[in-house]
Chains A and B, each alone.
Chain A
């Protein structure tokens, strides 16, 4: 079965190489017959990649734990939707997903291109060849040395509906960025410098939307699942998707400018290449292990670092060759040479957008690459997240400034006085934003400017949007997006600059006042779930007579040989103005719960006596009489003399077993109390010591804690204003992007 599955990957690699070679020949000498072979090879590749994916999905659904990948990322108790998403929970499967999406985008692209098909497909295929090589190097069909009886399960963090759809959407974006690159390079190759822009433009919009949506979904997930209280943390993994997206957004603007005026013809080739190369660079950063110590995500080097570096170099070489060899031939329209464009024109605004977006990508990329750069000079270091905020804040201010008036301009000369009436809506929103900001506390001049211009942007673009909607829906794409940008910026500032958090200790039933809310911890409820226990900790919030309840929870997963792993899920009460976020941080159960048996660790040297609660324990000697009585097992006992309060001492001999089958460490009952036990957890023959684990009786715990019997919840309550504005903003950005895909592709046809 695994040979069959692995075989599909090989056939995929071989057919995509064949397809590339035929297309390469066709690039120089076009003939109808060969074209069909190239297409058939590509279709075979797409089919076999699909079969490979079907195999992997089948192995997941049938719990075939002979496969290491299946065993690592799933278990037989997973519900169907998480079983499906286990497919892309790890590196190998997500590469397969990337190739699969790339293959089917390629099929569409192949039939969409006309004369340019051979060259475009050579370049597009090249990226699929490389990914297919990686896939074979890192195959999801590797067999485990021994079949596992049960899988390790899917990480609890990934068990969320958003994480089911996040990776496919991100990889749709990753795969899509290869298309404008291929079309651009093909245009240089063929020395046909016109026409590629309108061919590539819908794809750039498409990549903008899919990667953007992927980033946003990642943010939603981290806001609601991780309980870190944030949607964005400037982590390398997050930045990895942001870099190509920013560069791609710059490309979108420069392409629009070239389409209308012929300007920036060379820049467009460069930006199309950079967006694509940044996809590869980001993959390198997140998959090669180079940032292992600098990210919250674990990056294990899977031995593909060398390959990734080679691929990046190869694409840089190809790009450089075409750009340099054609650079002088790329025609610049006469009009561009002669006229000086005014600061007060749409051209200028678009150029500014390109510069600012590219700059943001470069500077964010610089920060993300800091460990690599500093490693060359001295100790590897990373930049703190304040770096990203510092460098992107001025950029955000300028973006807000330009978006406050540029959308009103046309190409060429504009009459400034005509604009003033159309700025009124923007001014009103800007003033409101300023007043609200000052009322909540002046945040410093830079942040203040960001809010004011963001408000201005929202107002102006709202007015433009209404005007455009009256004319035609597709024409409103840019205004919808830019309105979204304004709202998004306001949301960024409100949620990260004006959030408040307070820790609170909540005994059951008691009401405490936190950040203007009356908070009551109702009661805890424990439910067995999967490999662990979910502790529901319902909480009631009250403000101005409104009562809200929600259930934050802590999931405790038992793991062999390690402390229990805990996952906290916050309770988020969403509001128009502000979200309230209750994050459970710790919990102490009351006296009735089993979990609160008192436990203690104790180490005793041979011959000595130690006091433990009401017990006196003397470690008399080791008992080696049972040594080697079972196959491969070494069992050593410790003879202990134990006395409870003033009672007669008794001899107890717990045993400690190592090796062989996993033996339960023998536990001995302690005299005097019900439910008190002693267990050996370790011994050190050279130091002549024994480590004991004491578990007290429940009644004993009850006696001690008589005064505070109530369960206690430790929580952090925080308010996060502006989250609804933020979500609305990013949704509009995406909606505008979708309208633009429609607009650009329908014109194309």
Chain B
């Protein structure tokens, strides 16, 4: 039994150390639009869709507005998520690109009124 204890302990310790490193390196912090525009890292920004700002032609382009009222243009290179237009909130994860003057999102989280929803906006 002792041998397996040692092996188990080694595996677990190694896994935890490895996990800690991965954890740190894949963290994306949750920032405001102004902070996102200044940041060079991958970040996530929550906001609401500026109505009427969506366009789609091989790329989804829309404006996101955060609580402070700042706006930014977001480019998203994948399928438009379902429930996009009536989302209560959209979280864009990605990086701001100065050359394109746009936030290049590689992931969009759409807070859809799905089964966990509780509020109806009237």
A624 within 8 A of B: no
Q: A359-B12, A566-B80 are in contact. Are A503 and B58 (CB under 8 A)?
A: yes
Chain B residues whose C-beta falls within 8 Å of the C-beta of A583 in the assembled complex: 79
What distance in Å separates the Cβ of B47 from its nearest Cβ neighbour in chain A?
A: 10
Chain A residue contacts of B112, Cβ below 8 A: 155, 157, 296-298
CB-based contact B115/A585 at 8 Å: no
User: Roughly how many angstroms separate A653 CA and B111 CA in the complex, as a whole number?
Assistant: 41
B3 on interface, CB distance cutoff 8 Å = yes
User: Which residues on the A side are within 8 Å of B91 (C-beta)?
Assistant: 293-294
Contact (Cβ within 8 A) B110 A382 = no
Total A-B contacts with CB atoms under 8 angstroms apart:
192
List residues 341-388 of chain A with CB under 8 A from any CB of chain B.
Answer: 341, 343, 347-348, 351-352, 355-356, 359, 363, 366-367, 370-371, 374, 378-387
Interface string of B72-113 (1 = CB under 8 A from A): 000000111111111011010100000000000001011111
Instruction: Using A228-B81, A287-B116, A341-B4 as known contacts, say yes or no to A298 and B111 having CB atoms under 8 A apart.
Output: yes
**In the complex, chain A residues whose CB is within 8 Å of the CB of B109:** 293-296
Q: Are the CB atoms of A300 and B119 closer together than 8 Å?
A: yes
- In the bound complex, do residue B88 and residue A298 qualify as a contact, i.e. CB atoms below 8 Å apart? yes
Cα(A559)–Cα(B120), bound, Å:
13
- Determine if B8 and A355 form an interchain contact, defined as CB atoms under 8 angstroms apart: yes
Name the interface residues of A136-169: CB closer than 8 Å to any CB of B.
152, 155-158, 167
Q: A559 and B12: CB pair below 8 A?
A: no
Q: Is the CB of A387 within 8 A of B82?
A: no
Is A336 an interface residue when CB atoms closer than 8 A count as contact?
yes
Contact A351 B19 (CB under 8 A): no
Contact code string A218-262 (vs B, CB < 8 Å = 1, else 0): 000000001111000000010000000000000000000000000
Contact B51 A382 (CB under 8 A): no
Interface string of B1-30 (1 = CB under 8 A from A): 111100110011001001100110011111
The smallest C-beta distance from A243 to any residue of chain B, in angstroms, reads 15
Asked whether A227 and B117 contact (CB < 8 A) given A157-B112, A351-B8, the answer is no
Complex-state Cα separation, A569 to B11, whole angstroms: 44
B19 close to A714 (CB less than 8 A)? no
Interface pair B80/A89, CB less than 8 Å apart:
no
A328 sits at the interface (CB 8 A):
no
* B118 x A343 contact (CB < 8 A): no
List A residues 261-294 near B (Cβ within 8 Å).
263, 286-287, 292-294
Contacts of B116 in A (CB 8 A): 90-91, 237, 286-287, 297-300
What is the CA–CA distance of A297 and B111 in the complex, to the nearest angstrom? 5
**Is the Cβ of B85 less than 8 Å from the Cβ of A565?**
yes
Given A72-B120, A383-B23; A297-B114 close (CB under 8 Å): yes
A589 close to chain B: CB less than 8 A: no
- Using A292-B111, A296-B111, A298-B116 as known contacts, say yes or no to A568 and B82 having CB atoms under 8 A apart: yes
Q: Does A511 sit within 8 A of B, measured CB to CB?
A: no
* Contact status of A586 and B114, CB under 8 A, knowing A359-B15, A379-B29, A384-B93: no
Distance in angstroms from B43 CB to nearest chain A CB is 9
List of A residues within 8 angstroms of B44 by Cβ: 293, 381-382
CB-CB under 8 A for A370 and B23, given A286-B116, A340-B1, A359-B15: yes
Q: Tell me if A525 is interfacial: C-beta within 8 Å of chain B.
A: no
Alpha-carbon distance A329/B107, docked complex (angstroms): 52
Cβ distance A265 to chain B, nearest Cβ, rounded Å: 13
Residues in chain B near residue A80, CB distance under 8 A: none
CA distance A654 to B60 in the complex (A): 35
* Contact A586–B115 (Cβ < 8 Å): no
Q: Which residues of A contact B86 (CB under 8 A)?
A: 559, 562-563, 565
Smallest Cβ-Cβ distance to A567: which chain B residue: B82
A366 touching B19 in the complex, CB below 8 Å, given contacts A229-B79, A359-B12, A384-B28: yes
Judged by a CB distance under 8 angstroms, whether A592 is at the interface is no
Residues of B within 8 A of A296 (CB): 81, 109-112
- Residues of chain B within 8 A of A7, CB atoms compared: none
**Which of chain B's residues has its CB closest to A586's CB?**
B56
Contact yes or no, B30 A293, CB < 8 A: yes
Name the interface size band of chain A: 35 or more
Contact B3 A302, beta carbon cutoff 8 Å? no
Q: State which size class the interface on B falls in.
A: 35 or more
Chain B residues with CB under 8 A of A90: 115-118
Q: State whether the Cβ of A564 lies closer than 8 Å to any Cβ in chain B.
A: yes
Find residues 50-72 in chain B having any chain A CB closer than 8 Å to their own CB: 51-52, 54, 56-58
Whether B26 pairs with A387 at a CB distance below 8 angstroms is: yes
Residue of A whose beta carbon sits closest to that of B53: A563
Does B38 make an interface contact (CB < 8 A)?
no
| Residues of chain A lying within 8 A (CB to CB) of residue B18 | 390-391, 394
Distance between B2 CB and nearest chain A CB, rounded to angstroms: 7
A340-B2, A568-B79, A714-B56 are known contacts. Are A382 and B28 too (CB-CB below 8 A)? yes
Select one of B23, B51, B57 contacting A367, CB under 8 A. Answer: B23
Docked CA distance A356–B22 (Å)? 18
> Are A157 and B2 touching (Cβ within 8 A)?
no
- Pick the residue among B26, B83, B85, B119 that contacts A384 (CB under 8 A): B26
Within 8 Å of chain B (Cβ to Cβ): is A127?
no
- Do residues B83 and A565 form an inter-chain contact, with CB atoms below 8 A? yes
B33 within 8 A of A: no
B57 touching A158 by the CB < 8 A rule? Answer: no
Residues A714 and B57 in contact, CB atoms below 8 Å apart: yes
Residues in B neighbouring A499, C-beta threshold 8 A: none
- Is B36's beta carbon under 8 Å from chain A? no
Interface status of A549 (Cβ within 8 A of chain B): no
A94 at the interface (CB under 8 A from B): yes
Q: How far is the CA of A382 from the CA of B28 in the complex (A)?
A: 6
- Is there contact, CB below 8 Å, between B85 and A563? yes
What residues on B are CB-neighbors of A505 within 8 Å? Answer: 58
Q: Which residues of chain A from 374 to 410 have any CB-CB distance to chain B below 8 Å in the complex? A: 374, 378-387, 390-391, 394-395, 398
B23 engages A366 (CB within 8 Å) = yes
Residues on A with beta carbons closer than 8 Å to the beta carbon of B3: 340-341, 343
Given contacts A383-B27, A387-B23, A566-B80, contact A341 B111 (CB under 8 A): no
CB distance from A531 to the nearest CB of B (A): 12
Residue A716 is within 8 A (CB to CB) of chain B in the complex: yes
Neighbour of A381 across the interface among B7, B28, B85, CB < 8 A: B28
By CB atoms of chain B within 10 A, which of A90, A295, A296 has the most? A296
B19 neighbours in A (Cβ, 8 Å) = 363, 366, 391
Q: Do B1 and A157 touch (CB < 8 A)?
A: no
Cβ-defined contact, B114 with A228, below 8 A: no
Interface contact A387-B114, CB-CB below 8 Å: no
C-alpha gap A498/B120 in the complex (Å):
41
Residues of chain B with a CB closer than 8 A to A292's CB: 111
A227 to B79, Cβ gap below 8 A? yes
Distance, CA A226 to CA B110, complexed state (A): 12
- Note all chain B residues with C-beta closer than 8 A to A347: 4
Name the residue among A228, A302, A563, A716 with the largest chain B CB count within 10 angstroms: A563
Q: What 4 A-B pairs come out closest when comparing CB atoms?
A: A300-B118, A387-B26, A298-B111, A563-B85
Q: List 8 A-B contacts (CB under 8 A).
A: A296-B112, A297-B116, A298-B114, A298-B117, A379-B29, A394-B18, A563-B85, A714-B56
Other contacts beyond A339-B1, A562-B85: 5, CB < 8 A: A228-B82, A300-B116, A366-B23, A384-B28, A585-B58
